[in-house]
Amino acid sequence: MVHSPQVMQRFELPQYIQRDSASAVGSAGSRLAGALVELHLSMENSADNSTENASLRAGFRAYGCPATIASADWLAEQLNGLPVDAATELDRHAIIRALELPAARQHCAALAVEALGAALQNLHR
């Protein structure tokens, strides 16, 4: 149960918990598997609901271990203000590097990215 300071800081004080409704939600994982992540996305500066020139507002909700919560919080932070089209460039390796996740926790980063993928799909619908 040893976590990096980056994980512990985000676990103890996550900044991007989603409390209101968003335009799109994507989820990954399951409660039975021990981790469930929701990424919530909305667009700002969007004309006619187009993604052109639009930037993202993001938040998360998560059930899981500290690394799962920290991964979702880090990802939400990166997404905030990011052009919508740039969001797909974020991958699990970026989370693993930023949070110094050991091999046994890298699936936590993958789960957050999977939730982002689902949220983006729903956003484009």
Choices 43-51, 83-91, 101-109, 116-124; region in contact with another protein by CB under 8 A: 101-109
Distance CA 73, CA 11 (A): 8
DSSP, res 17: B
Distance CA 37, CA 90 (A): 16
The nearest distance, CB 94 to another protein, in angstroms, is: 20
Task: Please give the structure tokens belonging to residue 70.
Answer: 């920290």
Residues 6 or more apart from 94 whose CB is under 8 A from it?
78
Does 38 participate in binding another protein (rule CB under 8 A)?
yes
The nearest distance, CB 56 to another protein, in angstroms, is: 20
> Residues 27, 42, 71, 78: which binds another protein (CB under 8 A)?
27
Distance CA 45, CA 77 (A): 18
> Where in 56-95 is the site for another protein (CB under 8 A)?
60-69
**Total residues binding another protein (CB under 8 A):** 35
Summarize as ranges the residues that interact with another protein (CB under 8 A): 1-5, 7-9, 11-12, 14, 17, 27, 31-38, 60-69, 104-105, 107-108
